[in-house]
């Protein structure tokens, strides 16, 4: 059922209208205080740039296999061209961007050390010229007839004025396109006649005077919003407290509280974008609002476990809602992203690899000792094809899914992934682990990657083996017992 619901998200078209911005992240490590002033010195490690604001909403829609049409305004400057002509097409967004000569592109630059933001620098203006606003309205009117839903992503950067909000809502309602609004204004009457509004806890509290830190308070805030604004439903996003939904028009007449699905929180940047993107795609696919809210909540639980402005894929969402047995198993692309997050948090990552065909006490001992050498341990398994090349046509005894499930269930293992090559060298180059770990049946110079790991400050660690345990010996004993 979960897979059918998430498959239904594919092919929907959502028109996103709102404030497009560039999110820039500068990652590094703070290990000293400046002699010039009592401020931390960030030792640069990496820089990344990605779509922010309404762009991140659109990116999340595409990641869920929906079609995103983005209407926004940026400055006629280098960052504006980069957003519309490079970043949007790179992730599959159909961007209909209006460029203004008087309005600079909004850029947020965050400086991050060990997973914590230590400074944010914003470049922005919040007043768009009339000519640009008219061009935006025309672009929205042109795109609306081909959309299954419209999202108003308001970040109070000038794209969505009270007048333009009313124009967009009226145009959508005239042709029966549902409207989902992520508000910024404390005056929620600006969003009158939308189908769903998604304020966060702080926005709902400011608008109604009811604190949303408890279920009771959030319920009162939701009721107050519906009493004061003519809308179909309200979904209050409450961070660690989950969500509160109220939608009397579809039978949810009392506040319905959804607990958070997040298992760990690294960064809440863009979590609201993920929520409204998932909600809009789900509603466009005909999923009822309660189930859509549950999906959005699950997606938020995934995205806050990532660093930076992030998107959630359909595959990640399915994994989250299905409660799969082996939550540590990841594709190569997911593994690279996860290790990058760990490194940006300042965590030391270890890397072990092998067939692990029949897991025995020797394997368990090796991996337990390996985990003591690092903060997070990645285990790379040979695929079935790779095992056959190494061990012969009768191997592996267990297929790669079974082996990944067993290894991933060990407490010492944080991430399991596969490699199909003769050696894991390409994977090592991508992950850049801090420690390469092998058993003592290898010499340091025999460990794949020993000659390159020093390039990024890593090392090789040789682990003592538990005597008397071998997969080959286990198979041999089993064959002899069968023969006798």
Per-residue pLDDT at 210: 96
Mean pLDDT across the chain: 88
Residue 357, helix vs strand vs coil: coil
Place 261 in a pLDDT band, splitting at 50, 70 and 90: low
Predicted confidence (pLDDT) at residue 63 exceeds the cutoff of 80: yes
Cis peptide before 211 (omega within 30 of 0): no
Per-residue pLDDT at 345: 79
Q: Give the integer Cα–Cα distance in Å for 225 and 232.
A: 11
Q: Give pLDDT tens digits for 200-224.
A: 999 999 999 999 999 999 999 999 9
Q: pLDDT over 70 for what percent of the chain?
A: 89
Predicted confidence (pLDDT) at residue 3 exceeds the cutoff of 70: no
Q: Give the integer Cα–Cα distance in Å for 245 and 475.
A: 56
- List own/partner pairs for 240-247 with CB under 8 A and 24 or more apart: 240/265, 241/201, 241/212, 241/213, 241/214, 241/215, 242/297, 243/275, 243/293, 243/296, 243/297, 244/212, 244/215, 244/218, 244/219, 245/289, 245/290, 245/293, 246/219, 246/222, 247/196, 247/289, 247/290
Active-site entry in 19, 182, 273, 384: 273
Q: Give the integer Cα–Cα distance in Å for 292 and 290.
A: 5
Place 272 in a pLDDT band, splitting at 50, 70 and 90: confident
Place 473 in a pLDDT band, splitting at 50, 70 and 90: low
Q: Give the integer Cα–Cα distance in Å for 207 and 205.
A: 5
Q: What DSSP line would sit under 91-124, residue for residue?
A: TT-EEEEEEESSSPPEEEEEEEETTEEEEEEEE-
Per-residue pLDDT at 201: 93
Sign of CA dihedral 348, 354, 357, 361: negative
Distances (CA, A) of 351 to 52, 326, 329, 370, 461: 33, 19, 14, 8, 10
Please count the other Cβ atoms lying within 10 Å of the Cβ belonging to residue 144.
19
Is 273 labeled as catalytic in the residue annotation? yes
Average pLDDT for 304-316: 66
Q: Give the integer Cα–Cα distance in Å for 94 and 91.
A: 9
Predicted confidence (pLDDT) at residue 331 exceeds the cutoff of 80: yes
Q: Give pLDDT tens digits for 232-256.
A: 999 999 988 889 999 998 889 999 9
Predicted confidence (pLDDT) at residue 86 exceeds the cutoff of 50: yes
Q: Give the integer Cα–Cα distance in Å for 15 and 22.
A: 19
Q: pLDDT over 90 for what percent of the chain?
A: 63
Q: Give pLDDT tens digits for 33-50.
A: 999 999 999 999 889 999
Helix 271-284, helix 54-63: angle, nearest 10: 50
Bigger pLDDT: 359 vs 166: 166
Average pLDDT for 173-199: 94
Average pLDDT for 135-147: 96
Average pLDDT for 139-154: 96
């Amino acid at each position: 059922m979960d897979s059918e619901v998430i498959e239904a998200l594919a092919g929907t078209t959502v028109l996103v209208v709102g404030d497009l911005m560039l999110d820039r992240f500068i990652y590094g490590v703070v290990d000293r205080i400046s002699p010039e002033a009592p401020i931390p010195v960030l030792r640069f490690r990496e820089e990344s740039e990605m779509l922010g604001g309404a762009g991140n909403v659109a990116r999340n829609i595409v990641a869920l296999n929906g079609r995103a049409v983005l209407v926004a305004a940026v400055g006629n400057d280098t960052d504006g061209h980069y957003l519309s002509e490079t970043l949007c097409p790179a992730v599959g967004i159909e961007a209909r961007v209006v460029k203004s000569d008087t309005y600079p592109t909004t850029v947020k630059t965050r400086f991050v050390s060990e997973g914590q933001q230590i400074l944010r620098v914003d470049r922005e203006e919040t007043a768009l010229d009339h000519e640009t606003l008219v061009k935006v309205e025309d672009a929205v009117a042109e795109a609306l007839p081909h959309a299954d839903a419209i999202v108003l992503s308001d970040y109070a950067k000038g794209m969505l004025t009270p007048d333009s909000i009313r124009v967009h809502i009226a145009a959508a309602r005239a042709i029966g396109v549902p409207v989902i609004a992520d508000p910024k204004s404390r005056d929620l009457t600006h969003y009158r006649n939308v189908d769903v509004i998604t304020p966060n806890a702080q926005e709902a509290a400011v608008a109604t005077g009811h604190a949303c830190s408890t279920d009771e308070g959030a319920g009162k805030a939701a009721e107050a919003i519906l009493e004061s604004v003519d809308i179909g439903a309200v979904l209050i996003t409450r961070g660690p407290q989950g969500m509160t939904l109220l939608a009397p028009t579809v039978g949810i007449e009392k506040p319905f509280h959804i607990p958070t699905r997040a298992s760990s929180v690294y960064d809440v940047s863009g979590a609201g974008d993920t929520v409204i993107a998932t909600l809009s795609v789900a509603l466009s696919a005909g999923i009822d609002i309660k189930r859509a809210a549950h999906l959005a909540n699950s997606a938020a639980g995934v995205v806050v476990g990532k660093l930076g402005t992030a998107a959630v894929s359909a595959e990640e969402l399915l994994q989250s809602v299905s409660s799969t047995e082996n939550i540590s198993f990841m594709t190569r692309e997911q593994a690279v992203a996860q290790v990058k997050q760990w490194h940006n948090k300042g965590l030391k990552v270890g890397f072990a690899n092998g067939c692990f065909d029949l897991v025995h006490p020797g394997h368990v001992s090796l991996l337990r000792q390996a985990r003591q050498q690092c903060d997070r341990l990645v285990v790379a398994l040979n695929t079935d094809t790779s095992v056959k090349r190494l061990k012969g046509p009768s191997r592996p005894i267990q297929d790669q899914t079974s082996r990944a499930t067993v290894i991933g269930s060990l407490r010492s293992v944080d991430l399991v992934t596969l490699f199909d090559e003769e050696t894991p060298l390409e994977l090592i180059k991508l992950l850049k682990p801090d420690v390469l770990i092998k058993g003592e049946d290898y010499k340091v110079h025999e460990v794949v990657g020993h000659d390159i790991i020093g390039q990024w400050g890593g090392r090789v660690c040789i682990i003592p083996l538990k005597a008397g345990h071998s997969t080959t010996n286990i198979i041999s004993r089993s064959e002899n017992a069968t023969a006798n």
